[in-house]
Structure 1
Amino acid sequence: MDELVVSTDVYVPPEEAYEFLLDFPRYERYSEYLDRVSRTHGDGGAGTRYALRFAWWKLTYTAHSEVTDVDPPNRIDWRVRRDIRAHGSWRIEPLDELPADAPDDAAAGSRVTFEVRFDAESADASAVSLPPLVSFGWVLDKVTDLITEEAERVVRRAVSDLEGRERDVTLVVRESADAL
């Protein structure tokens, strides 16, 4: 199972960060490869399902995900329902004190962490229509390489939107690839 964890500090209270992150359809604004997010069932809480349409190169793919658990304002858990074994979460933790480089008008802060665990080998090749002479293995290798870069981009853009201003964002990134 591969794992990717990206975290950073945001200068809003945990409740505000949580409500912001619970709005999955907003994510299409942050990703270069996410064309559309549609809620297909539910009200945004546990049990809510989404169709996330990705496009990269000559490929399109719709991931069907589900919010599996919520613990306001601390955690949002999700999973991909088919085609690949993948699950993850957003974790939000209050900062005990603001760092010295926090903006002067920041009254509160949160550590926001995005985690995803996935088994690339579990991907269902029939879920993606490939051009002639393109192997599914080649696509997996390329997409796996893009995951970290895209996760970092999404977190940076979300922080800017959440705080209402652009700033340098320090990310802590941890990647691991373990055998099942």
Structure 2
Amino acid sequence: IVSPADGTFDTIEEIEHHEYIGGPAIEIGIFLSIFNVHINRMPVAGKIIKLAYKPGKCLNALRPESTRENERLEVYLQMPAPTNRPMLVQQITGAIARRIVCRIKPGDELEKGQQFGMIKLGSRTVIVFPREPGLEILTKPGDKLLAGSTILAKYTDAAESVTPMGKASNDDKEA
């Protein structure tokens, strides 16, 4: 799973049950300063399932509540077989950024790292993915991220590693 945006990894949250993911999830927040490139890229190869616009405020993107309260576009996608894992990327406005551009539609199939949109000026991007056995988070808050290239996390098999949560898995590797 690669970063969907240039910026700073600033939040990580374990979610007990995420409706779209269908179970436990990890949410990573990325702050994009006015000096970052604001192009969003696909974190994995996958098919776009739906897009959902959510009106909201334009709070400073550094404020934690901006993730839930600000205007955003939610991009729901599904990884290819055999896992078909669901994933969500949110393009979130900030106090300065008030325009979200998204050039994809449901049914589109995109490659990992492929450009799908942008957020004008300072903003946030959030990625949500399944918290499963075999998941390894490879970055930490404070890390500088590059869209389409910095590996945030990967799913590994039990023979290779144990996750930070102490669980193992038989999944094939996916990053």
TM-score relative to the length of structure 2: 0.36
Q: Which has the higher helix share?
A: 1
Bigger CA radius of gyration: 1
TM-score relative to the length of structure 1: 0.36
